[in-house]
Chain A
């Protein structure tokens, strides 16, 4: 009786180096390190562009970057193993590895795994939190009906929201997914009128109130600034 649906195989490509950041590729692909720098930032692909903006903008050449596919955001149980695999792959080549993931829905498992591997990681529950600053975000603990978007998620809304939830083919599911939410909070890392317009459009699409909360890079910048390489 069971009929087998076939789904298109995901395209898997590896970016040659992080000088060429392509948002769409970051969703399912890894960003390989450039091979320079003494500290490796092992990060979620959803942070790649923002991390490079911070490191290059500050001339922090001691920080190299390896990103895991951003779509792991939608499957947090797979993050700890993916991080462990990458740590073991690169730990001999760097003085230090710093994991640029927050808890990200792993329920403390990622923190425990990082401790076992002897690497440090970002503090906080989510990137939404450390972008705003974990302390400031904690003040919104009563904001349970807010749906958060960052610059990356606005740019990749279709790949992360519309398509996986099938809202393009079945818009009637919107109520089942988002009926309990009341507002969309757009946390912008950069000032970009086009992204702002897109975020407003998505709020309308999801039938949610819209709030724009410019955050900049928040704790991300602070934490990366604290990473100093040994001479």
Chain B
């Protein structure tokens, strides 16, 4: 680290500079700096929801774009996510207290037979940042696990993730079961994972395949809005 970088004192930056610095710190995966900056903005009476959306989600959006463009790779994204997680841990209880806007509720999990959850966790974090309530079922989730949770939680969205070509067909098992039970159209179903694509998503009857966390957020927002419009029509 250079002397110049050492000289940055976060509390001496104005709001705009501090947010820009948070973008940089997220990009570099500096968790402690992000936590410090979140606390500074709270002391300056920023609403928790504003810190979340303008600083943390704003910074992670840049990280996501650069990942998509092949500038950043998985390790850098994970470090950034870890830094955001640090900020989120401070904000989460405050967001509940202050009643931040809720866009919708999503139950998500990695499918049965699969233990890979890095992508799923990133999606969950970015969805939370966008105002969705997330119920994360973890890994190796079977049909009953998904269906019980969407019912009990009153979810709007079911999200399924898989990294293995051998486990991704299980998503169809879940969707087919929903069809059999007559509940398929009650939920938005989003799927994601490295070996998936749009064609696979359509073939199994999902509403959308989401190639990354940013696309998942945008798709979820769009489909929720469409659902609300249909209901009010």
A170 and B139 contact, Cβ closer than 8 Å, known pairs A3-B27, A177-B118: no
Nearest chain-B residue to A172 (Cβ)? Answer: B82
Q: How far is the CA of A107 from the CA of B102 in the complex (A)?
A: 37
A5 near B71 (CB under 8 angstroms)?
A: yes
B66 partner residues in chain A, CB cutoff 8 A: 2
- Cross-chain contact of B115 among A76, A106, A166, A180 (Cβ < 8 A): A180
B27 partner residues in chain A, CB cutoff 8 A: 3
A107 near B195 (CB under 8 angstroms)?
A: yes
Give chain B's interface residue range (CB within 8 Å of chain A): 20 to 34
Q: How many A-B residue pairs have CB under 8 A?
A: 57
A173 and B166 contact, Cβ closer than 8 Å, known pairs A2-B66, A105-B195, A144-B114: no
- Cross-chain contact of A144 among B62, B75, B140, B165 (Cβ < 8 A): B140
- Cross-chain contact of A4 among B71, B76, B79 (Cβ < 8 A): B71
A103 partner residues in chain B, CB cutoff 8 A: 165
- Cross-chain contact of A106 among B116, B118, B165 (Cβ < 8 A): B165
A144 near B113 (CB under 8 angstroms)?
A: yes
B115 near A181 (CB under 8 angstroms)?
A: yes
- Name A99-114 residues within 8 Å CB distance of B: 103, 105-108
- Cross-chain contact of A180 among B23, B73, B139 (Cβ < 8 A): B139
B166 near A5 (CB under 8 angstroms)?
A: no
A4 partner residues in chain B, CB cutoff 8 A: 71
- Name A54-106 residues within 8 Å CB distance of B: 76-77, 103, 105-106
A176 and B118 contact, Cβ closer than 8 Å, known pairs A1-B20, A170-B79: yes
Q: How far is the CA of A145 from the CA of B82 in the complex (A)?
A: 23
A105 and B113 contact, Cβ closer than 8 Å, known pairs A2-B65, A5-B71: no
A105 near B165 (CB under 8 angstroms)?
A: yes
Q: Which residues of A contact B (CB under 8 A)?
A: 1-5, 76-77, 103, 105-108, 125, 141, 144-145, 164-166, 169-170, 172-173, 176-177, 180-181
Q: Which residues of B contact A (CB under 8 A)?
A: 20, 23-24, 27, 29, 62, 65-66, 71-76, 78-79, 82, 113-118, 121, 139-140, 164-166, 168, 195
Name 25 interchain pairs, CB-CB below 8 A, sorted by A.
A1-B23, A1-B62, A2-B62, A2-B65, A2-B71, A3-B24, A3-B27, A5-B76, A76-B195, A77-B195, A103-B165, A106-B165, A125-B166, A141-B113, A144-B115, A144-B140, A164-B73, A166-B75, A169-B75, A170-B75, A170-B79, A172-B82, A173-B78, A180-B139, A181-B115
